[in-house]
Structure 1
Amino acid sequence: MENNQNMPPKPNNYMVVAILSTVFCCLATGIASIIYASKVNEHYARGEYEQAERASKNARLWAFIGIGLAAVIWIIYIAIFGFAFLGAMSSGY
């Protein structure tokens, strides 16, 4: 095991974003994000900075993919039901 004194600072693990993405957005991508987020600390503790950096990037990627998917789904949902509501209101129902 290498000495961590000569290593760069630990990369962000994005655990909070991963958990929020899982709970509020998309379960599948959120779980992938949580898995990668947990690997950041493990790799860094073993002195594997490159793997910790890669896990950090993957955790961020999957969290934001989940957030993006949720945003797209909500936009489509609001558009469909918004237009349906406006159509119903204009036809007198």
Structure 2
Amino acid sequence: MENNQNMPAKPNNYMVLAILSTIFCCIATGIASIIYASKVNECYARGEYAEAEKASKNAKMWAFIGIGISALVWIIYIAFFGFAFLGAMSNAGSY
């Protein structure tokens, strides 16, 4: 039987965050995040604790990059159409 006292805690795989990032934010970065998230459990089970920790950090990083890109796109989208709407409203009163 293996001694579990020397095993470090399993890092979070961020799979839920990766899936939500893929569905609601950016598909490309979300897929990268899912790939790294799936590696966390595999590496940990093989005893590759440093690799599991690295995969966990990469999964989290790519999920947040996707969320950031999505937020930036929405800000630009709202600003563009918001200013276009305000411009149209100010021109509507000059007729």
Residue type of the alignment partner of 2:65? I
Query: CA–CA distance in 1 between the matches of 2:15 and 2:55?
Result: 11
Q: CA deviation at 1:4?
A: 6.4
Equivalences for residues 31-50 of structure 1 within 5 A? 31-50=31-50
Partner of 1:11 in structure 2?
11
Q: Do 1:4 and 1:47's aligned partners in 2 also have CA atoms closer than 8 Å?
A: no
Partner of 2:69 in structure 1?
69
Taking only aligned residues, the RMSD between alpha carbons, in angstroms, comes to 1.1
Unaligned runs of 5+ in 2: none
Question: How many matched pairs?
Answer: 91
Identical positions, percent: 78
Query: CA–CA distance in 2 between the matches of 1:59 and 1:33?
Result: 4
Q: CA deviation at 1:10?
A: 0.3
Query: CA–CA distance in 2 between the matches of 1:63 and 1:17?
Result: 6
Instruction: Give the secondary structure class of the aligned counterpart of 1:91.
Output: helix
Q: Which has the larger radius of gyration?
A: 2
Q: Do 1:18 and 1:37's aligned partners in 2 also have CA atoms closer than 8 Å?
A: yes
Query: CA–CA distance in 2 between the matches of 1:4 and 1:44?
Result: 15
4+ residue stretches of structure 1 with deviation over 2 A? none
The TM-score with structure 2 as length reference comes to 0.93
Query: CA–CA distance in 1 between the matches of 2:85 and 2:60?
Result: 37
